[in-house]
Amino acid sequence: MFSVALSSVLVMGAAFAAAQSTTEPALPPGMSTYPDVPHASKTFAFEDLPYRIDDSTHLIRGNQHGYNICNDTTAGQDSLCQTSHFNSIDDFCLWAPPDFGRTIGDIEGIMVAWCTKPGHGTRLIPEGAITGLQWITTPDYVQAVGFIDQTLINVLADDSGGEMDPHGADLRGNPMGGIVYSNAWTGAPTQVIEWHLFLGSGRFCYKACDPRGRFDDRYCEHILDRIGCDYNVPNRAQDGVFEQCLGDNQDFPGVYTTNGVVMTYTQPAGDLGDIGFSPMTPSSSSCTQFESAALFSGLPTGVSPGSSTTSEDARPTGSGGVSSRRSTGTPSPSQTAGGAQNSQGSSASKTAALSGAALVGAVLSAVFLA
Protein backbone atom coordinates (compact mmCIF):
# COMPACT_ATOMS: atom_id res chain seq x y z
CA MET A 1 0.00 0.00 0.00
CA PHE A 2 2.85 2.35 -0.59
CA SER A 3 2.48 4.54 -3.58
CA VAL A 4 6.12 4.71 -4.57
CA ALA A 5 7.59 2.16 -6.95
CA LEU A 6 7.31 -1.22 -5.38
CA SER A 7 10.10 -3.33 -6.63
CA SER A 8 11.47 -4.86 -3.50
CA VAL A 9 14.80 -3.18 -4.09
CA LEU A 10 13.21 0.23 -4.17
CA VAL A 11 11.07 -0.46 -1.16
CA MET A 12 14.02 -1.62 0.83
CA GLY A 13 15.92 1.43 -0.34
CA ALA A 14 13.14 3.73 0.73
CA ALA A 15 12.81 1.95 4.03
CA PHE A 16 16.47 2.23 4.81
CA ALA A 17 16.50 5.84 3.70
CA ALA A 18 13.63 6.56 6.05
CA ALA A 19 15.28 4.71 8.87
CA GLN A 20 18.76 6.08 8.44
CA SER A 21 18.62 9.51 6.91
CA THR A 22 19.59 12.16 9.40
CA THR A 23 16.92 14.43 7.99
CA GLU A 24 14.13 11.99 8.81
CA PRO A 25 12.76 11.69 12.32
CA ALA A 26 14.68 9.08 14.28
CA LEU A 27 12.90 6.00 15.48
CA PRO A 28 11.73 6.34 19.05
CA PRO A 29 14.22 4.90 21.55
CA GLY A 30 14.16 1.14 21.63
CA MET A 31 12.03 0.85 18.50
CA SER A 32 13.05 -0.68 15.22
CA THR A 33 11.50 -1.52 11.90
CA TYR A 34 12.21 -5.08 10.83
CA PRO A 35 11.54 -8.34 12.61
CA ASP A 36 14.45 -10.71 13.19
CA VAL A 37 12.81 -13.16 10.79
CA PRO A 38 10.59 -11.94 7.94
CA HIS A 39 7.01 -13.07 8.38
CA ALA A 40 6.98 -14.94 5.06
CA SER A 41 9.98 -17.00 6.19
CA LYS A 42 8.27 -18.35 9.28
CA THR A 43 6.80 -21.79 8.87
CA PHE A 44 4.62 -23.71 11.27
CA ALA A 45 2.87 -27.03 11.15
CA PHE A 46 -0.77 -26.24 11.86
CA GLU A 47 -0.65 -28.24 15.11
CA ASP A 48 2.39 -26.31 16.31
CA LEU A 49 1.16 -22.75 15.94
CA PRO A 50 2.26 -20.45 18.74
CA TYR A 51 -0.19 -18.11 20.42
CA ARG A 52 1.29 -15.27 18.37
CA ILE A 53 3.47 -15.79 15.31
CA ASP A 54 4.73 -12.23 15.58
CA ASP A 55 5.79 -11.82 19.18
CA SER A 56 7.86 -8.67 18.68
CA THR A 57 7.09 -5.81 21.04
CA HIS A 58 9.57 -3.19 19.86
CA LEU A 59 8.63 -2.70 16.23
CA ILE A 60 7.36 0.52 14.79
CA ARG A 61 4.07 -0.83 13.47
CA GLY A 62 3.00 -2.12 16.86
CA ASN A 63 2.25 -5.59 18.16
CA GLN A 64 0.33 -8.34 16.44
CA HIS A 65 -3.32 -7.47 16.97
CA GLY A 66 -4.80 -10.93 17.42
CA TYR A 67 -3.58 -14.49 17.92
CA ASN A 68 -2.97 -17.72 16.04
CA ILE A 69 -4.29 -20.44 18.33
CA CYS A 70 -7.95 -20.44 17.43
CA ASN A 71 -10.63 -22.83 18.64
CA ASP A 72 -14.17 -22.90 20.00
CA THR A 73 -13.29 -20.47 22.74
CA THR A 74 -12.13 -17.85 20.24
CA ALA A 75 -14.99 -18.30 17.76
CA GLY A 76 -17.53 -15.52 17.37
CA GLN A 77 -18.03 -12.14 15.80
CA ASP A 78 -15.50 -10.47 18.06
CA SER A 79 -12.78 -13.06 17.41
CA LEU A 80 -9.30 -11.76 16.80
CA CYS A 81 -8.13 -14.99 15.20
CA GLN A 82 -5.43 -14.42 12.60
CA THR A 83 -5.10 -17.99 11.41
CA SER A 84 -6.92 -18.29 8.13
CA HIS A 85 -8.02 -21.20 5.95
CA PHE A 86 -8.39 -21.34 2.20
CA ASN A 87 -9.70 -24.80 1.43
CA SER A 88 -12.59 -24.84 -1.03
CA ILE A 89 -15.52 -22.90 -2.42
CA ASP A 90 -17.51 -23.40 0.77
CA ASP A 91 -14.64 -23.19 3.25
CA PHE A 92 -12.36 -20.19 3.11
CA CYS A 93 -11.61 -17.03 5.07
CA LEU A 94 -10.99 -13.45 4.04
CA TRP A 95 -8.94 -10.90 5.93
CA ALA A 96 -11.12 -7.98 7.01
CA PRO A 97 -11.09 -5.29 9.69
CA PRO A 98 -11.77 -6.14 13.33
CA ASP A 99 -13.95 -3.05 13.62
CA PHE A 100 -15.81 -0.66 11.38
CA GLY A 101 -14.73 2.87 10.66
CA ARG A 102 -11.30 2.98 9.08
CA THR A 103 -10.06 2.24 5.59
CA ILE A 104 -8.32 -0.99 4.71
CA GLY A 105 -5.24 1.07 3.97
CA ASP A 106 -5.24 2.31 7.53
CA ILE A 107 -5.74 -1.03 9.26
CA GLU A 108 -4.48 -3.73 6.90
CA GLY A 109 -1.89 -4.60 9.52
CA ILE A 110 -4.52 -5.71 12.04
CA MET A 111 -6.99 -7.57 9.82
CA VAL A 112 -8.61 -10.69 11.26
CA ALA A 113 -10.01 -13.85 9.70
CA TRP A 114 -13.63 -13.91 8.53
CA CYS A 115 -14.65 -17.35 7.32
CA THR A 116 -17.49 -18.97 5.39
CA LYS A 117 -17.69 -21.96 7.69
CA PRO A 118 -17.87 -22.42 11.46
CA GLY A 119 -15.14 -24.45 13.09
CA HIS A 120 -12.01 -22.38 12.66
CA GLY A 121 -12.31 -20.26 15.80
CA THR A 122 -12.90 -17.12 13.74
CA ARG A 123 -15.55 -14.63 12.81
CA LEU A 124 -18.03 -15.68 10.13
CA ILE A 125 -18.87 -13.81 6.95
CA PRO A 126 -22.57 -13.04 7.48
CA GLU A 127 -25.23 -14.82 5.49
CA GLY A 128 -25.90 -13.23 2.12
CA ALA A 129 -22.80 -11.02 2.19
CA ILE A 130 -21.21 -12.92 -0.69
CA THR A 131 -23.40 -12.46 -3.76
CA GLY A 132 -21.26 -14.20 -6.36
CA LEU A 133 -18.26 -16.50 -6.16
CA GLN A 134 -15.92 -18.38 -8.44
CA TRP A 135 -13.44 -20.90 -7.07
CA ILE A 136 -10.78 -22.06 -9.51
CA THR A 137 -8.23 -24.79 -9.06
CA THR A 138 -5.21 -24.50 -11.35
CA PRO A 139 -1.91 -26.41 -11.54
CA ASP A 140 -0.10 -23.88 -9.33
CA TYR A 141 -2.72 -22.24 -7.15
CA VAL A 142 -6.30 -22.11 -5.93
CA GLN A 143 -8.22 -18.89 -6.26
CA ALA A 144 -11.47 -17.31 -5.11
CA VAL A 145 -13.02 -14.27 -6.75
CA GLY A 146 -16.18 -12.90 -5.21
CA PHE A 147 -18.68 -10.11 -4.99
CA ILE A 148 -19.51 -9.01 -1.47
CA ASP A 149 -21.44 -6.50 0.60
CA GLN A 150 -18.23 -5.42 2.22
CA THR A 151 -19.90 -3.39 4.94
CA LEU A 152 -20.96 -6.70 6.48
CA ILE A 153 -17.30 -7.48 7.15
CA ASN A 154 -16.45 -4.04 8.52
CA VAL A 155 -15.17 -2.51 5.28
CA LEU A 156 -16.36 1.02 4.56
CA ALA A 157 -18.91 1.11 1.73
CA ASP A 158 -16.78 3.34 -0.49
CA ASP A 159 -13.41 1.80 0.31
CA SER A 160 -11.55 0.72 -2.80
CA GLY A 161 -9.35 -1.22 -0.45
CA GLY A 162 -5.96 -2.73 -0.90
CA GLU A 163 -3.78 -5.79 -0.98
CA MET A 164 -3.05 -8.12 1.88
CA ASP A 165 -0.06 -10.46 1.62
CA PRO A 166 2.55 -12.03 3.89
CA HIS A 167 5.23 -9.43 3.05
CA GLY A 168 4.76 -5.68 3.55
CA ALA A 169 7.65 -3.26 3.23
CA ASP A 170 8.68 -3.96 6.82
CA LEU A 171 8.45 -7.73 6.19
CA ARG A 172 5.86 -8.28 8.91
CA GLY A 173 2.97 -9.07 6.58
CA ASN A 174 -0.49 -7.58 6.26
CA PRO A 175 -2.02 -8.51 8.54
CA MET A 176 0.93 -8.76 10.89
CA GLY A 177 0.99 -12.31 12.18
CA GLY A 178 -1.65 -13.44 9.69
CA ILE A 179 -1.08 -16.98 8.46
CA VAL A 180 -2.96 -19.03 5.85
CA TYR A 181 -3.43 -22.81 5.59
CA SER A 182 -5.03 -24.83 2.81
CA ASN A 183 -6.01 -28.47 2.55
CA ALA A 184 -6.49 -28.10 -1.21
CA TRP A 185 -3.30 -29.93 -2.13
CA THR A 186 -2.74 -32.69 0.36
CA GLY A 187 -6.04 -32.96 2.20
CA ALA A 188 -4.43 -31.70 5.41
CA PRO A 189 -3.78 -28.08 6.43
CA THR A 190 -0.63 -26.97 4.61
CA GLN A 191 0.85 -23.55 5.24
CA VAL A 192 0.43 -21.27 2.24
CA ILE A 193 3.72 -19.40 1.99
CA GLU A 194 2.72 -17.07 -0.83
CA TRP A 195 -0.79 -15.65 -1.13
CA HIS A 196 -2.45 -12.36 -1.97
CA LEU A 197 -5.88 -10.93 -1.32
CA PHE A 198 -7.32 -7.83 -2.94
CA LEU A 199 -10.43 -6.58 -1.17
CA GLY A 200 -12.45 -3.44 -1.86
CA SER A 201 -15.07 -1.85 -4.11
CA GLY A 202 -17.45 -4.72 -3.35
CA ARG A 203 -15.11 -7.37 -4.68
CA PHE A 204 -12.40 -9.67 -3.49
CA CYS A 205 -9.89 -11.82 -5.29
CA TYR A 206 -7.70 -14.15 -3.40
CA LYS A 207 -5.02 -16.50 -4.61
CA ALA A 208 -3.19 -19.10 -2.56
CA CYS A 209 -0.17 -20.54 -4.31
CA ASP A 210 0.83 -24.18 -3.92
CA PRO A 211 3.99 -24.02 -1.80
CA ARG A 212 5.38 -27.01 -3.70
CA GLY A 213 5.33 -24.98 -6.90
CA ARG A 214 8.54 -23.48 -8.19
CA PHE A 215 6.90 -20.14 -8.95
CA ASP A 216 4.58 -19.62 -6.01
CA ASP A 217 6.16 -16.23 -5.38
CA ARG A 218 5.50 -15.15 -8.97
CA TYR A 219 1.89 -16.27 -9.28
CA CYS A 220 1.19 -14.74 -5.87
CA GLU A 221 3.18 -11.58 -6.59
CA HIS A 222 2.97 -8.91 -3.92
CA ILE A 223 4.42 -5.78 -5.52
CA LEU A 224 1.56 -4.80 -7.86
CA ASP A 225 -0.63 -3.59 -5.04
CA ARG A 226 -2.26 -0.69 -6.89
CA ILE A 227 -3.57 -2.36 -10.02
CA GLY A 228 -6.03 -4.64 -8.31
CA CYS A 229 -7.93 -7.78 -9.23
CA ASP A 230 -8.09 -7.24 -12.97
CA TYR A 231 -4.32 -7.40 -13.35
CA ASN A 232 -3.27 -9.62 -10.48
CA VAL A 233 -6.11 -12.12 -10.70
CA PRO A 234 -7.65 -11.88 -14.19
CA ASN A 235 -10.94 -13.74 -14.11
CA ARG A 236 -14.44 -14.14 -15.50
CA ALA A 237 -16.31 -14.35 -12.21
CA GLN A 238 -19.86 -12.98 -12.31
CA ASP A 239 -22.02 -11.51 -9.60
CA GLY A 240 -24.99 -13.78 -8.91
CA VAL A 241 -23.15 -16.93 -9.99
CA PHE A 242 -21.58 -19.41 -7.57
CA GLU A 243 -19.32 -21.88 -9.32
CA GLN A 244 -16.18 -23.90 -9.01
CA CYS A 245 -13.99 -24.69 -12.00
CA LEU A 246 -10.68 -26.03 -13.10
CA GLY A 247 -8.44 -23.51 -14.80
CA ASP A 248 -5.11 -22.96 -16.46
CA ASN A 249 -2.43 -20.90 -14.76
CA GLN A 250 -2.51 -17.21 -15.52
CA ASP A 251 0.61 -15.37 -16.65
CA PHE A 252 2.62 -14.11 -13.71
CA PRO A 253 0.97 -10.86 -12.60
CA GLY A 254 2.48 -7.98 -14.59
CA VAL A 255 3.80 -10.25 -17.34
CA TYR A 256 2.17 -10.09 -20.76
CA THR A 257 2.95 -10.80 -24.37
CA THR A 258 2.70 -8.24 -27.16
CA ASN A 259 3.49 -9.20 -30.76
CA GLY A 260 5.23 -12.28 -29.52
CA VAL A 261 7.43 -10.36 -27.10
CA VAL A 262 7.14 -11.07 -23.39
CA MET A 263 6.93 -7.83 -21.45
CA THR A 264 6.97 -7.01 -17.75
CA TYR A 265 4.94 -4.16 -16.32
CA THR A 266 6.42 -1.98 -13.61
CA GLN A 267 4.06 -0.12 -11.33
CA PRO A 268 5.00 3.56 -11.42
CA ALA A 269 5.65 5.68 -8.37
CA GLY A 270 3.11 8.35 -9.19
CA ASP A 271 -0.09 8.41 -11.21
CA LEU A 272 -0.76 5.01 -12.72
CA GLY A 273 -1.74 6.60 -16.01
CA ASP A 274 -2.51 4.17 -18.81
CA ILE A 275 -1.53 0.75 -17.55
CA GLY A 276 -0.94 -0.14 -21.17
CA PHE A 277 -1.83 -3.80 -21.33
CA SER A 278 -4.65 -6.22 -20.72
CA PRO A 279 -3.67 -9.42 -18.98
CA MET A 280 -4.59 -12.77 -20.48
CA THR A 281 -7.53 -14.33 -18.67
CA PRO A 282 -6.83 -18.04 -18.41
CA SER A 283 -9.43 -20.45 -19.67
CA SER A 284 -11.45 -22.52 -17.26
CA SER A 285 -13.40 -25.71 -17.60
CA SER A 286 -15.45 -28.28 -15.74
CA CYS A 287 -17.43 -25.63 -13.92
CA THR A 288 -20.06 -26.71 -11.41
CA GLN A 289 -22.63 -24.19 -10.27
CA PHE A 290 -24.24 -23.97 -6.84
CA GLU A 291 -27.04 -22.19 -5.08
CA SER A 292 -25.39 -19.94 -2.53
CA ALA A 293 -27.71 -21.22 0.18
CA ALA A 294 -26.47 -24.74 -0.46
CA LEU A 295 -22.85 -23.69 -0.13
CA PHE A 296 -23.01 -21.80 3.12
CA SER A 297 -24.75 -22.79 6.30
CA GLY A 298 -24.41 -21.88 9.92
CA LEU A 299 -23.68 -18.24 9.16
CA PRO A 300 -24.97 -15.38 11.31
CA THR A 301 -27.15 -12.66 9.87
CA GLY A 302 -25.17 -9.50 9.42
CA VAL A 303 -25.78 -5.95 10.48
CA SER A 304 -24.25 -3.35 8.26
CA PRO A 305 -22.60 -0.72 10.44
CA GLY A 306 -22.70 1.68 7.53
CA SER A 307 -26.49 1.58 7.38
CA SER A 308 -26.85 2.35 11.06
CA THR A 309 -28.37 5.69 11.94
CA THR A 310 -27.26 5.43 15.52
CA SER A 311 -24.58 7.67 16.90
CA GLU A 312 -20.95 6.82 17.26
CA ASP A 313 -21.53 5.93 20.89
CA ALA A 314 -24.27 3.49 20.10
CA ARG A 315 -22.43 1.32 17.67
CA PRO A 316 -24.37 -1.69 16.52
CA THR A 317 -23.61 -4.91 18.24
CA GLY A 318 -25.76 -6.96 15.91
CA SER A 319 -27.36 -10.17 17.04
CA GLY A 320 -24.62 -12.47 15.99
CA GLY A 321 -23.73 -9.73 13.61
CA VAL A 322 -20.78 -7.52 13.09
CA SER A 323 -18.52 -6.75 15.94
CA SER A 324 -18.35 -3.31 17.37
CA ARG A 325 -15.14 -3.93 19.22
CA ARG A 326 -12.83 -1.01 19.04
CA SER A 327 -9.38 -1.58 17.77
CA THR A 328 -6.46 -0.79 19.96
CA GLY A 329 -3.99 -1.12 17.14
CA THR A 330 -1.45 1.51 16.30
CA PRO A 331 -2.87 3.93 13.79
CA SER A 332 -1.18 3.36 10.48
CA PRO A 333 -2.04 6.01 7.97
CA SER A 334 -1.43 4.91 4.49
CA GLN A 335 -1.31 6.39 1.09
CA THR A 336 -4.23 4.39 -0.09
CA ALA A 337 -4.32 3.04 -3.53
CA GLY A 338 -6.05 0.57 -5.74
CA GLY A 339 -7.36 -2.48 -4.05
CA ALA A 340 -9.66 -4.83 -5.78
CA GLN A 341 -10.16 -2.16 -8.38
CA ASN A 342 -7.25 -0.56 -10.09
CA SER A 343 -7.02 3.09 -9.17
CA GLN A 344 -6.19 5.45 -11.92
CA GLY A 345 -6.28 8.52 -9.76
CA SER A 346 -3.36 9.82 -7.84
CA SER A 347 -3.03 8.05 -4.56
CA ALA A 348 -4.53 10.65 -2.35
CA SER A 349 -3.12 10.36 1.09
CA LYS A 350 -5.76 9.76 3.68
CA THR A 351 -4.17 10.80 6.87
CA ALA A 352 -5.84 9.46 9.93
CA ALA A 353 -6.17 11.53 13.03
CA LEU A 354 -3.07 10.89 15.03
CA SER A 355 -2.35 11.08 18.66
CA GLY A 356 0.88 12.92 19.32
CA ALA A 357 2.72 9.92 20.66
CA ALA A 358 1.84 7.87 17.63
CA LEU A 359 2.87 10.50 15.15
CA VAL A 360 6.47 9.56 14.52
CA GLY A 361 5.70 5.89 14.34
CA ALA A 362 2.70 6.44 12.16
CA VAL A 363 4.54 8.64 9.70
CA LEU A 364 7.28 6.08 9.43
CA SER A 365 4.87 3.22 9.25
CA ALA A 366 3.28 4.77 6.18
CA VAL A 367 6.43 3.72 4.42
CA PHE A 368 6.10 0.14 5.57
CA LEU A 369 2.66 -0.84 4.52
CA ALA A 370 3.25 -2.31 1.11
Ligand X SMILES: *[C@@H]1O[C@H](CO)[C@@H](O)[C@H](O)[C@H]1NC(C)=O
The residues of the shown chain that bind ligand X, judged by CB under 6 A, are 51, 67, 69, 71, 73-74
Q: Rounded to the nearest whole angstrom, what is the least distance from the CB of residue 72 to ligand X in the complex?
A: 7
Residue nearest to ligand X (CB): 69
Q: Rounded to the nearest whole angstrom, what is the least distance from the CB of residue 51 to ligand X in the complex?
A: 6
Long-range contacts of 70-76 (CB under 8 A, 24+ apart): 70/113, 70/120, 70/121, 70/122, 71/121, 72/121, 73/121, 74/121, 74/122, 75/118, 75/119, 75/120, 75/121, 75/122, 76/123
Give whichever of 36 and 51 is closer to ligand X, judged by the CB atom.
51
CA of 354: how far to CAs of 65, 80, 103, in Å? 18, 24, 15
**Helix, strand, or coil here: 6?**
coil
CA of 23: how far to CAs of 19, 20, 26, 158, 169, in Å? 10, 9, 9, 36, 21
Q: DSSP characters for 263-286? A: EE----SS--------PPPPPEEE
CA of 211: how far to CAs of 169, 191, 220, 300, in Å? 22, 8, 11, 33
Give whichever of 55 and 239 is closer to ligand X, judged by the CB atom.
55
DSSP symbol at 15: H
Q: Rounded to the nearest whole angstrom, what is the least distance from the CB of residue 79 to ligand X in the complex?
A: 10
- Which runs of consecutive H residues, i.e. helices, occur in the chain? 8-20, 104-107, 216-219, 228-232, 292-295, 356-365
Give whichever of 14 and 81 is closer to ligand X, judged by the CB atom.
81
How would you class 44 by CB atoms within 10 Å of its CB: exposed for 0-12, middle for 13-18, buried for 19 or more? middle
Q: Rounded to the nearest whole angstrom, what is the least distance from the CB of residue 81 to ligand X in the complex?
A: 8
Query: In angstroms, rounded to a whole number, what is the distance separating the alpha carbons of residues 266 and 260?
Result: 19
Query: In angstroms, rounded to a whole number, what is the distance separating the alpha carbons of residues 265 and 296?
Result: 38
Give whichever of 56 and 74 is closer to ligand X, judged by the CB atom.
74
Give whichever of 124 and 272 is closer to ligand X, judged by the CB atom.
124
Q: Rounded to the nearest whole angstrom, what is the least distance from the CB of residue 173 to ligand X in the complex?
A: 19
Give whichever of 73 and 286 is closer to ligand X, judged by the CB atom.
73
Give whichever of 71 and 283 is closer to ligand X, judged by the CB atom.
71
Q: Rounded to the nearest whole angstrom, what is the least distance from the CB of residue 68 to ligand X in the complex?
A: 8
Q: Rounded to the nearest whole angstrom, what is the least distance from the CB of residue 69 to ligand X in the complex?
A: 4
Give whichever of 120 and 207 is closer to ligand X, judged by the CB atom.
120
Q: Rounded to the nearest whole angstrom, what is the least distance from the CB of residue 52 to ligand X in the complex?
A: 9
